[in-house]
């Protein structure tokens, strides 16, 4: 089984690419979903996050106050590194387990969506990498359309490698400025080359 890593800057089309790949029948695991899973109430990571960032980061219902935590860690690189040291090993373990299960099921290709793919050196465990990318102006427009304030957009963009660096490291690049049909056609060409 071949394992593809899908990455790109925030707001550049990772979710759209993942949906297109799922629609073609390929199994996809998104590490953003796994990141939410590992901090569910009762999970050891949630207790570690509470210990690292204070009890006020936990809501009365026992859930993580994700927005408040994000505001802290995207404003403070040391806090972000501390959070990543708690979450990233658990997330990697989960996607490795998912890949093993898919391999046992006999899938020919599977996809792991990892926003910080190169930042975490995950490419060493993958057969190929795809970076989705768009212009900085389109990226900002997409994030503004989500209702994000400009300061939050800048903090999130700064927390990742520049997309040009990701593009240079990736085996394939999908340019997402055009519609989903163009996005899908680019993915299709990549998949044909991998079979």
Q: Where are the beta strands (DSSP E) in 96-180?
A: 109-113, 128-133, 172-175
Which is nearest to 68 in space by CA: 92, 49, 40?
Answer: 49
Question: So what's the pLDDT on residue 60?
Answer: 96
If phi over 0 gives left and psi between -120 and 50 gives alpha, with beta otherwise, what is residue 41?
A: beta
Q: Residue 114 has which token pair?
A: 């990892």
Of how many residues is the chain composed? 195
Question: So what's the pLDDT on residue 21?
Answer: 97
Interval 111-123: pLDDT, tens: 999 999 999 999 9
Q: Where are the beta strands (DSSP E) in 86-135?
A: 109-113, 128-133
Q: Residue 152 has which token pair?
A: 């939050």
Question: So what's the pLDDT on residue 195?
Answer: 67
Between the CA of residue 78 and those of 52, 72, 92, 188, what are the distances in Å? 12, 10, 21, 40
Is 25 strand, coil or helix? coil
Its pTM stands at 0.93
Give the chain's radius of gyration (CA, Å): 17
Helix axes 77-105, 44-53, angle to 10 degrees: 170
The whole-angstrom separation of Cα 17 and Cα 132 is 8
User: Does the structural domain 2-194 have CATH classification 3.40.50.300?
Assistant: yes
* Domain spans in the chain, listed from the N-terminal domain onward: 2-194
pLDDT band at 2 (very low <50, low <70, confident <90, very high): very high
Mean pLDDT of 51-66: 96
Interval 129-141: pLDDT, tens: 999 999 999 999 9
Mean of per-residue pLDDT scores for the chain: 96
Mean pLDDT of 54-76: 95
Query: Taking the alpha carbons of 62, 65, 66, 69 in that order, is the dihedral positive or negative?
Result: negative
Question: So what's the pLDDT on residue 194?
Answer: 84
Interval 144-191: pLDDT, tens: 999 999 998 999 999 899 999 999 999 999 999 999 999 999 999 999
């Amino acid at each position: 089984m071949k394992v593809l890593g899908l990455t790109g800057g925030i707001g550049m089309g990772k979710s759209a690419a993942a949906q297109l790949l799922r629609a073609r029948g390929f199994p996809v695991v998104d590490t953003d979903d796994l990141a939410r899973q590992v901090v569910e109430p009762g999970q050891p990571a949630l207790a570690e996050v509470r210990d690292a960032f204070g009890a006020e980061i936990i809501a009365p219902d026992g859930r993580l106050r994700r927005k408040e935590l994000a505001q802290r860690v995207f404003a403070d690189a040391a806090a972000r590194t501390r959070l990543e040291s708690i979450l990233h090993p658990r997330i990697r373990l989960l996607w490795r387990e998912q890949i093993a299960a898919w391999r046992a099921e006999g899938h020919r290709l599977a996809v792991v969506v990892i926003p910080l793919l190169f930042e975490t050196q995950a490419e060493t465990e993958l057969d190929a990498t795809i970076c989705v990318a768009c212009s900085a102006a389109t990226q900002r427009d997409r994030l503004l359309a989500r209702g994000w304030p400009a300061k939050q957009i800048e903090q999130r963009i700064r927390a990742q490698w520049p997309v040009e660096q990701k593009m240079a490291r990736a085996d394939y690049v999908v340019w997402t400025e055009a519609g989903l049909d163009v996005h899908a056609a680019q993915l299709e060409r990549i998949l044909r080359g991998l079979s």
